[in-house]
Amino acid sequence: MKRFLPFFFLLLGTCGSAQLMAQAVLTGTITDQATGEPLPFASIYVQETKTGSASNANGQYNVKLAPGTNNVVFQYLGYQTLVKQVSGNKRLDVKLNSQALELGTVEIISGGEDISYSVIRRAIAKADYHLNQVESYEADVYIKGTGKLNSVGGAIRLLAGKEGREEIDESIGQSFTSESTSRVYYTRPNNYRQEVIQSYSVGDEQIDASQYVFSTFYQPLIANSIVSPLHPRAFGYYKYEQIGTFIDQDQLINKIRVTPRSRGEDVFEGFIYIVQDDWSIHSLDLTTPKLGFDINIKQNYAAVQEHVWMPITSTIDVVGGILGIKFEYHYLSTIGDYSLSLNPALKGYVEVIDEKTQPEIARQAKGKRTVNELEEALGNGESVTRKDLRRLMKTYKKEDRKEREEPEVVSNYSFVDSSAVVVRDSAAWKSIRPVPLTIEEVEGYAIADSIYKVELRADSATTDDDLRARGDTTRTGKTRRFKMTRILPQPIFNPVQGYIIGADAEWTHNKKGYGFGVLPSYSFGTEEGYLELSAFFGKSGIRETDTESAPPRYRISGGQGFREFNEETGIDPWLSTYLNLLSGRNFTRLYKRQYLQFDYAKAYGDEFSVDARLAYEDRSFLLNQANNNWSGLDDEEVYTQNTPINNAAGRVSGVSDAATFRVGATWMPGLKYRVYNGRKELIEGSAPEIGFQVRQGIPDLINSTADFTEIQASYLNRFDIGRKGKVQFLARGGYFLNNGNVDFPDFRHFAGSEVTLVAADPLSSYRLLPYYAESTNEEYLEVYAHYQFRKFLLTQITELNLFGLREDLFVNYLYTPTSDNYTEVGYSLDKIFRVLRLEFVASFRDGQYDDFGVRFGVATSLAEL
């Protein structure tokens, strides 16, 4: 369940924490005037303290007041705002009337366009302005999350066993609540620092919001994937309808219905309220489906300064289920005690002209004003067209990034919890929290406290011996700590080695980043034992901190073992084992080697990295040594022999020693990233990846006969094309400048497939290409194009689309001197049950039909889960 929390917290908006002060407190209940029903999570805003609060699920509230008279604003979506003047400790029960909309303003302008489109156009034009309007601020936040498990499906209960079912039954219907108060510091354009003051969470010791990235509906994407109704290209995703207008504290508010043109997990549906003339968000009530859940987001804003609207309350309700488990989460944040300074470069009030509905005024304002003239117009409070404003903000952001001398940082978030206090005393939290607990939440806390005390006693009894028994960490000496970072059993069979016993293990020093690996194995077919060893220094060779460059990584490895001729993209060894033993088919091709290898990798900044390898291999060619199988294969029906068949070289039946050297570089221009506690997280797909590589055979080094020079270049890009879908493209080509002696392991090999089940990367593999048939020691060109539709054929059915199903078209091309312009065209049903992929593929040579096949594998990307 926790894996979904970052997505939900991402939508909470701007955060801070309520300071603890001895203040007068206003309490009461907020209800519907007509029915008397409580209004849950209504917004309360104290103008004098710039502090927001909210009612609980039963409509109960409490809010701290400043000395003297306070103007307290009560808001609830769909109801008339009420402002009360109060002072001192008192109880005030509030009754709100349903909002009476002025329907007379709902009109269709010339051309048949709803007036809401004019409102949204100006709000979109001003979105960047609002993002950059505030130079910096400090604010308090209170976050409360309440969850409840509603039911567990029969299959899960069956697998859980008797004790597990009893634990499930105890958990169903039980409420659990977590709370925290924090102080947040923001500096434009996207730098956040959050300091936790108090926290209490069930299970963990505190609410750790350090993994969450702040977001706002003025940004094009929410949670990095859902299109905001104020996205620059929002009209391609949404239809709008003005429901009406109303007056709220002397401001005219437009209520606009937001309807997706095509429902899905990347769009919202609901209502957004826009302040007339300011064209800022007043409030919103939007819902989106995600992974089988309905996620509803409500936000209320307040004018903390003239023409400056900031969020004061946010609620997120998550209801649904996955894999038969149904539960609900409710999140609430209240934000207040704003202390902010405005961006001096964006002065004064800006009126935005909509060229479509105000053509005469737009003509008067036009004349292709320069950026300096537009800045002067803003400073004088003059009107500008929406297009001019967007052009100005684009120029402004570009110059601002240039002044900061850094690549585009999508978010920069730091989290400080060194001074955080885990408060478990209920009386203390009663004075801290701005939102009262419900009876259900109080009961949940009582149960959680009892469980916590039992677990605390159990944890204190855990010894270092227990930890070592679990094999998590090995302690060597007094200060050095090594952790096993990898242990992989080896495939149990192949026809060359027969049955195999072995494991690949690696240990890494926790802090220093150096470590060692060992791969022992025994082959019953050859009746020999093998051992491969490695040692390395340097954490990754990839930049992980905010420094000029990362430290390099060095690795030395060697020993004796077996290797696939196509080491990088040959058939998966576990898949090969399955095919060998259960169907009697053999596609793996191995050679034996004794080797010594040096590897080096280093990143220079975020965008550029290099790697190199120097290796020597004493190679031996072996035929099949075993015919074991579980499918009833007779001894006479032997496996396909361990001899690759190549269109250029024929049947390969030998190998020779080789010394080789390879050096490569990768460049990602225009890379975007997020900064989290000083550590940079690169955003996948935010920049193209350009690669270059040189590979050299070194003759006469010991017994090496390798004599070749290969150059290779590649281009990889992933990008969205608006509401239509996503594109992935990879082109890679190379040429052997010298191919005096190229042993078959040193050919350029390609990722082929001759089996229905595939495990290779869908973007860089061929579905029907025979293994090793087109491997070459001459020129080659690979092209892979993959297009994922947002909606195509089956995904036009809303239920299938919401279930996560996607449809893809792909085209793969290969040129070698013998390939006859090999081309594949395919259609796939992707993300079946969110994890599987079914493909239908046809291949062609020189434009003529060649083959057809069905392929089955994992989804193109599991990252979205």
C-beta neighbour count of 557 within 10 angstroms: 18
What number is the average pLDDT over the span 151-168?
67
Sign, CA torsion 141/311/29/315? negative
What number is the average pLDDT over the span 706-713?
97
d(CA 152, CA 247): 47
What number is the average pLDDT over the span 466-477?
41
Give the count of alpha carbons within 13 A of 474, CB side only. 10
Annotate 152-221 with DSSP letters as a single string.
E-HHHHHHHHHHHHHHHHHHBT-EEEEEEEEEEEEETTTEEEEEEEEEE-SSSSS--GGG-----TTSSE
Higher-pLDDT residue of 146, 11:
146
- Whether the per-residue pLDDT at 591 is higher than 60: the answer is yes
Q: Is 53 within 8 Å of 435 (Cβ atoms)?
A: yes
Per-residue pLDDT tens over the stretch 377-417: 655 556 666 666 766 666 656 665 555 555 566 655 555 55
What number is the average pLDDT over the span 358-370?
61
- Do the bridges between strand 806-815 and strand 822-832 make them parallel or antiparallel, or are there none, so unpaired? antiparallel
Per-residue pLDDT tens over the stretch 545-563: 444 556 788 999 999 999 9
d(CA 864, CA 245): 38
Per-residue pLDDT tens over the stretch 20-77: 344 688 999 999 998 999 998 888 888 888 888 888 888 899 888 888 899 999 988 8
| pTM of this prediction exceeds 0.75 | no
In this prediction, residue 363 has a pLDDT band, given cuts at 50, 70 and 90, of low
In this prediction, residue 370 has a pLDDT band, given cuts at 50, 70 and 90, of low
In this prediction, residue 105 has a pLDDT band, given cuts at 50, 70 and 90, of very low
- Whether the per-residue pLDDT at 738 is higher than 60: the answer is yes
Higher-pLDDT residue of 389, 483:
389
Place of tokens 């007068």: 24
Per-residue pLDDT tens over the stretch 339-354: 888 888 776 667 777 7
Give the count of alpha carbons within 13 A of 113, CB side only. 13
- The lowest-confidence range among 131-145, 457-471, 551-565, 837-851 is 457-471
Q: Is 317 within 8 Å of 328 (Cβ atoms)?
A: yes
In this prediction, residue 446 has a pLDDT band, given cuts at 50, 70 and 90, of low
Share of the chain above pLDDT 90, in %: 33
Per-residue pLDDT tens over the stretch 413-435: 555 554 445 555 555 556 666 67
3-state secondary structure at position 334: strand
CA angle 304, 309, 314 (to 5 degrees): 100
Question: Residue 467: what pLDDT?
Answer: 37
Residue ranges and CATH numbers for the domains of the chain are 2-343+413-422 (no CATH), 351-404 (no CATH), 490-643 (no CATH), 705-865 (2.40.160.50)
Place of tokens 């576990």: 574
3-state secondary structure at position 467: helix
- Whether the per-residue pLDDT at 266 is higher than 50: the answer is yes
Beta strands in 343-479 (DSSP E): 351-353, 383-385, 409-416, 421-422, 473-476
Per-residue pLDDT tens over the stretch 662-702: 999 999 988 877 776 666 677 777 889 999 999 999 999 99
Higher-pLDDT residue of 237, 214:
237
Give the count of alpha carbons within 13 A of 754, CB side only. 13
What number is the average pLDDT over the span 438-453?
61
